[in-house]
Amino acid sequence: MYRSLIYVAWVTQMREPTFLILTALAAGPRHGYGIIQEVTVLSEQRVTLLPGTLYTALDRLTAQGLVEPDREEVVDGRLRRYYRLTPDGVTALRTETARLRQLATAAETRLRARRPRTV
């Protein structure tokens, strides 16, 4: 079942917040607030995830088999749940990264080949 969901995830365009969440987890497990902070840094403050948005996305990504809970700990009386990429999550992130790289390369090639406009 996960394989068909993974296939859909990388065949269709991945939304930027999803890409950033997976990228934030690529270096290792993070808790929710850590993911929010990393997404803000990665996007140069263009994307700011609200907690409700993040946890909805994490639930969806968990159901798709792209992320999974790593561990839980209590800090200052509050529960922190850490998430990590699954092997399918790594594959989906690599696939989307390659797709974006291919698009950027095509755009750069066309921009270099662009002829100046004559008046």
- Where does the pLDDT of residue 115 fall: very low under 50, low under 70, confident under 90, or very high at 90 and above? confident
pLDDT over 70, % of the chain: 89
Residue 57, CB-side half-sphere exposure with 13 Å CA sphere: 21
Q: Phi/psi zone of residue 28: left (φ > 0), alpha (ψ -120 to 50 degrees), beta?
A: left
Contact 36, 51 (CB under 8 A): yes
Q: Spelled out in words, what is the top-level CATH class assigned to the domain 2-113?
A: mainly alpha
Secondary structure letter of residue 70 according to DSSP = E
**Residue 19, pLDDT above cutoff 90:** yes
Q: What is the pTM of this model?
A: 0.83
Please write the tens of the pLDDT for every residue from 40-51: 999 999 999 999
Per-range mean pLDDT, top range of 3-7, 43-47, 71-75: 43-47
Q: What is the mean pLDDT of residues 11-33?
A: 91
Cα(17)–Cα(15) distance, integer angstroms: 6
Contact 108, 30 (CB under 8 A): no
